[in-house]
């Protein structure tokens, strides 16, 4: 008797464990679409299902690089906003001063007819207004948008390059003196 009830308990538990993932899949199909969700590891959908869309690559110094499925009328500043904007440079010592930064945005487009790549570049300081051409530029399917944050070297950058050279030379000098 005890043996039969034990088998029944194990069998029932087994059925419950198998039925749970199937129920979760049915519920997952009924979820409403959000404004931004991930289709795969780095494919991010902004366009709603059924909406005319282009697929673009966003690379470089942005907070969320990846492949974006965006509505057809999306402007370049909107695309950069979808990728959460330029990355901020922070370290343990200090936060980077944004007033000294320059942004370089490059849009690469492959031309099938003559097998070449057309590149459009937008450069501006972070504190300056965005170039008007950025708002008027028409993004197309399979464009590659690369954003690079550039800055002038600060004094600490020079110290970080020169200090190891000086310490290596001093260590070498001390070793030679000890060996004499």
> pLDDT per residue over 113-126, tens digit each?
888 899 999 998 88
The mean per-residue pLDDT over the stretch 6-10 comes to: 59
Dist. CA 168–CA 144, nearest whole Å: 43
Query: 25: pLDDT confidence band, cut at 50, 70 and 90?
Result: very low
Beta bridge partners of 119: 108
> What is this structure's pTM?
0.60
Write down the mean pLDDT value for the chain: 78
Class assignment of domain 37-158?
alpha beta
- In this predicted structure, which of 69-73, 99-103, 127-131, 165-169 has the lowest mean pLDDT? 99-103
Q: Where are the domains of the chain?
A: 37-158
Closest CA to 67 of 35, 86, 44: 44
DSSP state of 95: B
């Amino acid at each position: 008797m005890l043996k039969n009830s034990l088998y029944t308990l194990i069998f029932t538990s087994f059925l419950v464990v198998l039925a749970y993932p199937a129920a979760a899949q049915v519920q997952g199909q009924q979820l409403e679409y959000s404004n931004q969700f991930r289709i795969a590891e780095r494919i991010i959908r902004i366009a709603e299902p059924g909406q005319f869309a282009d697929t673009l690559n966003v690379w470089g110094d942005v907070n969320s690089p990846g492949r974006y499925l965006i509505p057809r009328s999306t402007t370049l500043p909107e695309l950069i906003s979808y990728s959460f904007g330029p990355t901020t440079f922070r370290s343990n010592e200090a936060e980077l001063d944004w007033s000294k930064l320059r942004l370089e945005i490059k849009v690469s487009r492959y031309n099938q007819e003559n097998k070449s790549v057309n590149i459009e570049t937008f450069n501006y300081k972070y504190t300056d207004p965005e170039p008007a051409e950025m708002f008027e530029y028409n993004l197309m399917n399979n464009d590659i948008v690369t954003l690079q944050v550039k800055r002038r070297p600060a004094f600490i950058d020079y110290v970080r390059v020169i200090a190891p050279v000086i310490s290596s030379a001093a260590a070498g000098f001390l070793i030679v003196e000890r060996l004499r």
